[in-house]
Amino acid sequence: MKKEIYETLCQICGSEQVFCEESMSRHTTFRTGGPADILVTPKAEQISEILALCKEKQIPWTVIGNGSNLLVGDGGIRGVVLEIGKQMSEISIEGTKITAGAGAMLSAIASKAAAQELTGLEFASGIPGSLGGAVVMNAGAYGGEMKDVLTEVTVLTPEGTFLTLPVAELDLSYRHSIIPERGYLVVSAVLELHPGKAEEIRAVMEDLKEKRVSKQPLEYPSAGSTFKRPEGYFAGKLIQDAGLRGFQVGGAQVSEKHCGFVINRDHATSADICNLMNQVSEIVFEKFGVRLEAEVKKIGEF
């Protein structure tokens, strides 16, 4: 069955875009995770046919972006993984409107916006994720969120039809949208920015970059902020106050630089990271009565 699926996917996408037993450690910023049965990097127009194939053959399928907010189990992922990336990374600018594919990196979009003297996306210039993933979770940083700049999103429905949704219908809130609940797959999005001055935009981006470099453990693999911000608290402060700075399980560690980050300190497995997150959550709850909820999404077999 796997051989048949592989050969059919090669016919749809080209053999150079289809990979068997592909280690997910190459596709996540945590640099952990077991093999995907089959991984494919499709163009937008190929997705419907891929999903129809999976449905026909009753094969599970999983969609990922840049892997910057994922923890993939050491057992890997069964079925087909669709990686929305370079094949869907086009960016076009018309006036103050930016249209980009779901695979476009936020940093690339922010850079192009700055070059066109458009302001409003500076907050996203250092987020190491793709547009599709950012839309799905309403990604944000330094006071800005995707809902501030998003105007509409084109998705593929579970039935295989394309649908364009205005931002008002996405129910965007803190790290939430209706997209995963409805089983939608983000294809592209339109952002609306504002005219600005290039030197001021670059200055803001440089300032945010300096803050990231000085305060975040960018020298180690991680998935960014590991836990969601509990209402009325900061996850990193709670973890620090619980005495967990530098706390380690296997090769995974609570960053000594920023307690809100769990890092792959030394050849960690996904199990190490998962166990560390669970222990941190339990200890914080015992000490402060606040339950930390993972911002990182877990997929695959643990």
CATH number for the domain spanning 163: value is 3.30.465.10
Listed residues 38, 67, 83: the one ending a domain? 83
In the set 175, 182, 202, 229, the catalytic residue is 175
Q: What is the pTM of this model?
A: 0.91
The whole-angstrom separation of Cα 135 and Cα 145 is 9
Q: Which of 22, 83, 122, 295 is catalytic?
A: 295
Q: What CATH number corresponds to the domain at position 233?
A: 3.90.78.10
Within a domain: residue 168?
yes
What distance in Å separates the CA atoms of residue 24 and residue 33, rounded to the nearest whole number? Answer: 5
Same domain, 99 and 191: yes
Residues 6+ apart with CB under 8 A from 212: 126, 218
Tokens linked to 285: 């709850």
The answer on 183 and 94 residing in a single domain is yes
Structural domain count of the chain: 3
Q: Is 188 a catalytic residue?
A: no
Q: Would residue 286 show up in a list of annotated catalytic residues for this protein?
A: no
Whether residues 177 and 116 share a domain: the answer is: yes
Determine, yes or no, domain membership for 62. Answer: yes
For residue 44, give its domain range. 2-83
92 shares a domain with 192:
yes
Looking at the structure, do residues 193 and 267 belong to the same domain, yes or no?
A: no
What does the pLDDT read at residue 142? 85
Q: What pairing do the DSSP bridges indicate for beta strands 77-83 and 35-40? A: parallel
For residues 51 and 11, give the distance between their C-alpha atoms in angstroms, rounded to a whole number: 14
Q: Which residues contact 48 (CB under 8 A, 6 or more apart)?
A: 156, 160
Residue ranges of the chain whose pLDDT lies below 70: none
Out of 225, 255, 270, 281, pick the active-site residue. Answer: 225
Say whether both 268 and 194 belong to one domain.
Answer: no
Does residue 4 carry a catalytic annotation?
Answer: no
Indicate if 179 and 265 belong to the same structural domain: no
Q: What pLDDT is recorded for position 175?
A: 87
- Residue 9 placed within a domain: yes
Provide, rounded to the nearest whole percent, the portion of the chain with pLDDT above 70. Answer: 100
Q: CATH no. for residue 43?
A: 3.30.43.10
Question: Looking at the structure, do residues 190 and 226 belong to the same domain, yes or no?
Answer: no
Q: What single letter denotes the amino acid at residue 200?
A: E
Check whether residue 106 and residue 130 sit in a common domain.
yes
User: How far is Cα 286 from Cα 256, in angstroms, rounded to an integer?
Assistant: 22
- Within a domain: 209: no
Classify residue 20: in a domain, yes or no. yes
Residue 211 domain-assigned (yes or no): no
* Domain end (from 200, 235, 256): 200
Taking only the tens place, the pLDDT of each residue in 247-274 is 999 999 999 999 999 999 999 999 999 9
Specify whether 93 is located in the same domain as 196: yes
Q: Which amino acid is at 299?
A: I
Within this chain, do residues 79 and 92 fall inside the same structural domain, yes or no? Answer: no
Q: Which residue has the tokens 């509990």?
A: 230
